[in-house]
Amino acid sequence: MSDKKQAAFQVEEHVYEAAMSKLEHGEMSQLLRDYVKEIAFGEDLSRREQIKRHLEQLRDEKSDIRAEINQLQSKEEKIQRKISQTELRLDNTNNQEAEYRGALETISEYLNAGARVTIDNPQIKRAAALGDKSIGQTMGDLQEMNQDVPSYAFEEPKDNEDPNWQYHAAVWD
């Protein structure tokens, strides 16, 4: 590397201040160096230095953009993982609801065959667990599905009463 010599010169203060207000930090020194080179070696070398600086600026800008792209890609990957997890939860919820409905339909078949279904029935407890619902909610859903079934089909038989609720209905109708 060559030795360097400091160059100093005088300029009116208002001219200096006006020039500094239009430039970034360090830009004045670089412009003055370029101008001295241009005087010494001609315009071509000075132009070459300007092009090199511009090339460096473009490379820095490209690097900044690449960093932004990488950051955005990382953010996109995080969002995609959250989407996948949410879709999986939705599928599990749909499967859980389908299992719950299937259990209620099975109980409805027994109910329609004459069996009484009460809150103590293990199938009701299983269906409630499948649907993540209370036994009362499960009984309500079952009654709503079987509105044509009388309310006493959902009660324990009384003394000397047939456990088949349909027999009870035949006797009393």
28: in domain:
no
Residue 157: left if φ>0, alpha if ψ -120 to 50, beta else—which one? beta
- In terms of residue numbers, what domain contains 94? 42-172
- Is the CB of residue 117 less than 8 Å from the CB of residue 110? yes
- Is the CB of residue 107 less than 8 Å from the CB of residue 123? yes
Q: What percent of the chain has pLDDT over 70?
A: 93
89: in domain:
yes
**pLDDT band per the 50, 70, 90 thresholds, residue 167:** low
23: in domain:
no
47: in domain:
yes
**pLDDT band per the 50, 70, 90 thresholds, residue 111:** very high
142: Cβ contacts below 8 Å, ≥ 6 apart: 104, 107, 108, 111, 117, 124, 127, 154
- Is the CB of residue 125 less than 8 Å from the CB of residue 161? no
Predicted pLDDT of residue 173: 45
pLDDT over threshold 50, residue 171: no
pLDDT, one tens digit per residue, over 41-94 is 777 666 777 888 899 999 999 999 999 999 999 999 999 999 999 999 888 888
Q: Any idea which residue has 């079952």 for tokens?
A: 142
Predicted pLDDT of residue 172: 47
127: Cβ contacts below 8 Å, ≥ 6 apart: 100, 103, 104, 107, 138, 142
For the chain, how many structural domains are there in total?
Answer: 1
Rounded Cα distance, 153 and 133, in Å: 21
2: in domain:
no
155: in domain:
yes
**pLDDT band per the 50, 70, 90 thresholds, residue 169:** low
86: in domain:
yes
48: in domain:
yes
